[in-house]
Amino acid sequence: MTDALAQRMADRLKALTEEERIALNEGQIAESERQHAAFTAAFAEGRCSVCGDGLDVFDEKTPCLHWFLRPAGVKKKHYPAVAQAFGMMSIQSWMRWVANEGGWAKNIADTADDDHVVQVTARYGDYAWSISCGNSDFAGHSGKNSSFPHYHVQMSIKDRPFISYSDFHFRIHDDELTILKAIAASGVKSKFIHGESFDDLMAAVEPEWVVNLPVDRSGDQSGAPFKMDTIMIADDGTTMSGDDIYNLFERAKREGVTMASLAHTIPNVSVQTLVSEGPGVIDPAPRAGGRGGKRKEQ
């Protein structure tokens, strides 16, 4: 039943005209904007936009997404109730929104590969969450507690493990299963509005955009989202003066720009700048057998 419905939805998506596709996207974006505005307003007040309680309130009778901020009283045993009340994508969207409250994009790592439907890590303050759903998880594999479509969650607090991937096999809700299958069959690309990751950012911008960003050198650089390595090579038969490089550094500091953006002003040199994630970007936390590691430089 799920597969048949998913295929009908996929066929419908593929059959949309350009005007219908634009209207559908605009409607979804408008709804996401509405929900996110309510979320940010409540979050700024220390409240949960889902249940209305304070983010520090735990009511065992009302499972809620804000339990992932572990208010006093929440134990590991309580999280299956959250997974039952909310689907994988709702949980992921909430985690992404919370993570971006602590700094846009740099606190989310999307590292899903051909073997994963979902592999994301997000952090906010002392909290870090990861969701992993491999292809075999999505299909259901052998095992008493894993023969159904499911996903895994990992959570740490102050770098100390609280929930491990192996603790639970959370069932994927039927409606989400249908939607995810339909999206895969249709080839439609889905995005999390206001839940963009560093990987989304790097895929959307050219390295030149990063190179030309303003630079604030007054604060702690350990939270910087980007790292730039600039290579300057003097043309054949010419030399490059150390004074030129020093003056370039001083000018960049004075103007609040990157050295890479000014490197072309030194005559008779060729310049190449490699852009990668900076020290402030979250490291992926893949499940064993998944793809992790650093992202490729641009």
Is the domain of 219 the same as that of 96?
no
- Winning range, highest mean pLDDT, from 3-12, 48-57, 144-153: 48-57
pLDDT at 294: 43
Do 125 and 235 belong together in one domain?
no
pLDDT bucket at 296, cuts 50 / 70 / 90: very low
What percent of the chain shows pLDDT beyond 70?
94
Chain-wide mean pLDDT for the chain? 88
For residues 150 and 227, membership in a common domain is answered with no
* 59 lies in some domain: yes
Top pLDDT among 87 and 20 is at 87
Residues 226-238 have a mean pLDDT of: 89
Q: Is residue 6 part of a domain?
A: yes
If you average pLDDT over residues 233-250, what whole number do you get?
Answer: 90
Q: Nearest 5°: CA angle at 83, between 80 and 84?
A: 85
DSSP designation for 124: E
Could you report the per-residue pLDDT of 103-116, keeping only the tens digit for each? 888 999 998 888 99
Say yes or no: 169 and 114 in one domain: yes
- Number of CB atoms found within 10 A of residue 269's CB: 18
136-150 tens-digit pLDDT: 999 998 777 789 999
* 258 and 159 in a common domain: no
Lowest mean pLDDT across 63-67, 128-132, 201-205, 214-218:
214-218
Residue linked to tokens 């793809």: 291
Confidence class for position 225, pLDDT limits 50, 70, 90: confident
Based on the fold, state whether residues 215 and 86 are members of the same structural domain. no
Using pLDDT thresholds of 50, 70 and 90, give the confidence band for residue 290: very low
Please state the rounded mean pLDDT for residues 150-156. 97
Neighbours of 197 (CB within 10 A): 26
Domain housing 214? 207-277
Query: What pLDDT is attached to residue 36?
Result: 95
The answer to whether residue 201 sits within a structural domain is no
Among 139, 164, 191, residue at a domain's last position:
191
| pLDDT of 10 | 78
Question: Residue 293: is its pLDDT beyond 90?
Answer: no
- Do 67 and 35 have their domain in common? yes
> What confidence tier does 275 reach under pLDDT thresholds 50, 70, 90?
confident
Residue 289 has pLDDT above 80, yes or no: no
**16 vs 251, which has greater pLDDT?**
251
Q: How confident is the model at residue 276 (pLDDT cuts 50, 70, 90)?
A: confident
Tell me, yes or no, whether 226 and 183 share the same domain.
no
Q: How far is CA 138 from CA 86, 113, 186, 190, 275, in A?
A: 17, 14, 17, 18, 34
Domain-embedded: residue 236: yes
| Amino acid identity for residue 169 in this structure | H
Domain identity same for 54 and 145: yes
Residue 57: its pLDDT value, please? Answer: 98
| Distance in angstroms (rounded) separating the CA atoms of residues 283 and 157 | 15
**Position 219 confidence tier, pLDDT thresholds 50, 70, 90:** low
Please give the pLDDT value at position 298.
46
218: confidence class by pLDDT, cuts 50, 70, 90 = low
CA pair distance 172, 180, nearest whole angstrom: 10
Binned at pLDDT 50, 70 and 90, residue 228 comes out as confident
Q: Average pLDDT in the 11-35 region?
A: 86
Strands (E), the chain: 108-110, 116-124, 127-134, 150-157, 160-163, 170-171, 226-234, 269-277
Cα 190–Cα 195–Cα 74 angle in degrees, nearest 5: 120
Asked if the structure places residue 293 within a domain, the reply is no
- The more confident residue out of 46 and 12 is 46
